[in-house]
Structures are given as structure tokens and as C-alpha cells.
Amino acid sequence: MTRALRVARHHLNDRTRDLLDKELTAAVCDIELDSDAHEAILAGIGAHALQTHLPGEILQALTFYPATGSHVLTIGNLPQQEFPATPRDGFTDEPAMAVTNALHFGLLQLLSLTPFAVDYENTGRYIRNVAPNPAAAGTTSSWGADSEFSWHTDNPHLPFGGKGVDPRRYVPRYLSFYAVRNDEQVPTEVLAIEGAVAALDETTVQELQSAQFTVGPPASTDEAAPLRDTALLEQSYEGTRARFDRGTVAPNTPAATAALDRWVRALDQARSEAFVLRPGDFLIFDNYRVLHRRRAFRPGPADTARWLRRCYAS
Ligand SMILES: O=C(O)CCC(=O)C(=O)O
Ligand SMILES: [Fe+2]
């Protein structure tokens, strides 16, 4: 089992990007396509255009990514439509984002993944606009900016799922992002769980694998119940899985308190990789086998502040 973060990096040349842009713009120009009501149609349009124009090597990488064990896959230089102002309240006119949505859902389709949302978060919408929202000031939320969002997995208060189940009841397997703007050059940082675990002593690993923690839902999710008497690390045939969010994990025993302390210190020292997403970049990572974080930052002018589009997929 490799311990370092494995990243598959791809990049479109400008000619491919422009052909893709032209085809997608034409395909969505005279119809109203919403990211929730018409997700399947957008995915079909996007997947068709991508299949027509992407080089075989990238198509292959997409097909095999879930099976390769790579923690992260990136594709740079995707088309950028004309973007509206960065949304301040978390939501934007989705039909106006049809080209971006066709790309995002089309890529998920080529990855053989199912996009989904849960109804208690983001008002149940597929696309989460990761952008500074004054209402989230001081919270560790993807809508925040002024607070560090330290190492975590998304929705750690849910059980781990497998194949062929309703993804909404389980930890999202993958987080996918399309970057609209990131003038502030704020990185999305990722570390491989195996690497952080390798630095721990055997006793600490055993304590972290024992059901002696309570894991609450993230700050952005007010209604969901915590997971009680659970472990933070679990062995699976694919490697070690983690559920973690420093802000919502509570130890239930003295041994759990000590182990949690050592885990937090190991995370501080773990080797990680920083992805500074640029407009038109796509990033997907395995939320079972990596932790991610975003440090506090000072957003640029509101209309052009950092804006990523995130979608869960399993
Ligand atoms: O802003 C970022 O780079 C990532 C935020 C985050 O943790 C998330 O969207 O789940
Ligand atoms: Fe997150």
C-alpha cells in the first residue's frame, strides 16, 4: 500500500478546450437547463461533447480513476463560459451556468459516478457554491473565509457506504470541484490518510479504530444527528478510511482523548499537497482516503471573490 498522495494530472490543450466550448455553448444556447431538474440532460450533453473532443488518454484516465486507487485527479484548462458575479448568499442562477454544469456532470458521468445531494444541506441542491458568504462569517464552512477549515472529511457523521446503495445515507465517496475564480490563489490542500497513519504508534491506531468517539455533522449542516460510539479510522479492502472534522469530533474516553491528540499532531506534521485551482480547473478526490482543508483567507472584491463549484458523487 503506498502512503504518499497519488495524483493523476491532466491538462487540455487550447484547441481541444475551444472545440469543447463551442460544442457545449451551441448545445445549451436556446434551452433552459437547471442543475437540479435537468441534471441527467446536462450530464448527457457534457459527456457526449467530452467523448467527442477529449484525447483518448484523458478519457481512459476518467474511466479508470475510481479503480486505480489514485487519491486525486485533476484536469486543467477546461472551457470557461461567461460567468456571473460570485454569489454572496450561496446560490446563483443555475440555468445561466449550463455550460459549466454540462462539463461538471459530464465528467462525473465519464467517471461512472452518481452526483447527489442531501436534503438537509445546501437546500438539497446538487451544486454547492464554495464562495465567501457573509452569513457564514466565523464558521468553519465552505461558505466561510475568515476561519481556517482545518483537516476534515466531508459529512463524517454518516456511515461509510459501498457500491449499489443510496449514496445519500453515507459519507460522500468523492468531492468534485470546478473552479470559476480564485484570484486570491487559495489552495485546497489534500493529504493521504495512509501517510498520516503510518506516523502513529500501534496503540494510537488501535484507539482510533475503536468505537469511542462521537462525530457530529459539519457546521453547515444544522439538522443532522451525530454518529455516536464510532471509530475515526476503519480498515477496508481498499485501505484505511477516516472520518474526521476537528470541530465536530469528541472523544468519549481518556484513551480516546489521548489518541485524538496524537492524531491531530500527526496531521499537523503530515505531508500534504496544495492545489491552487485556476479558472477552468476540475479536481476530484476520494473523501474516504484523504483529508482536505482550506486555510482562512481574505476574499477579494465581492463580485470576483473566490468561487468553486462543488458536487458530491459516489
Ligand atoms: O474551499 C476549498 O478549497 C474546500 C472547501 C471544502 O472543504 C469543501 O468544499 O468541502
Ligand atoms: Fe470539505
Number of helices (H), then strands (E), in the chain: 7, 16
The amino acid at residue 289 is R
Q: Whose CA is nearest to atom 8 of ligand 1?
A: 142
The amino acid at residue 284 is I
Cβ atoms of 186 and 196 within 8 Å: the answer is no
- Tell how far the Cα of 293 is from the centroid of ligand 2, in angstroms: 7
- Tell how far the Cα of 142 is from the centroid of ligand 2, in angstroms: 7
pLDDT of residue 2: 55
pLDDT (tens digit, 9 = 90+) per residue, 11-51?
A: 999 999 999 999 999 999 999 999 999 999 999 999 999 99
Beta strands in the chain (DSSP E): 7-11, 72-76, 115-116, 128-130, 149-152, 174-181, 188-192, 213-215, 227-230, 233-236, 239-242, 249-251, 273-275, 282-286, 290-294, 307-313
- Tell how far the Cα of 173 is from the centroid of ligand 2, in angstroms: 12
| Contact residues of ligand 1, CB 6 A cut-off | 130, 142, 149, 154, 175, 188, 292, 294, 308, 310
pLDDT (tens digit, 9 = 90+) per residue, 239-277?
A: 899 999 999 999 999 999 999 999 999 999 999 999 999
Q: What is the mean pLDDT of each successive set of 10 residues along the chain, which is 314 residues long?
A: 85 98 96 97 98 98 95 98 97 98 98 94 95 88 88 96 92 98 98 96 98 91 87 93 96 98 97 98 98 96 97 97
What residues does each domain of the chain span?
7-193+270-313
Q: Whose CA is nearest to atom 6 of ligand 1?
A: 142
Cβ atoms of 76 and 13 within 8 Å: the answer is no
DSSP secondary structure code for residue 32 in this structure: -
Rounded Cα distance, 308 and 277, in Å: 9
Rounded Cα distance, 129 and 260, in Å: 31
Q: Which residues pair with 236 in a beta bridge?
A: 239
Tell me if residue 149 falls in helix, strand or coil.
strand
According to the CATH classification, is domain 7-193+270-313 in 3.60.130.10? yes
48 is in an annotated binding site: no
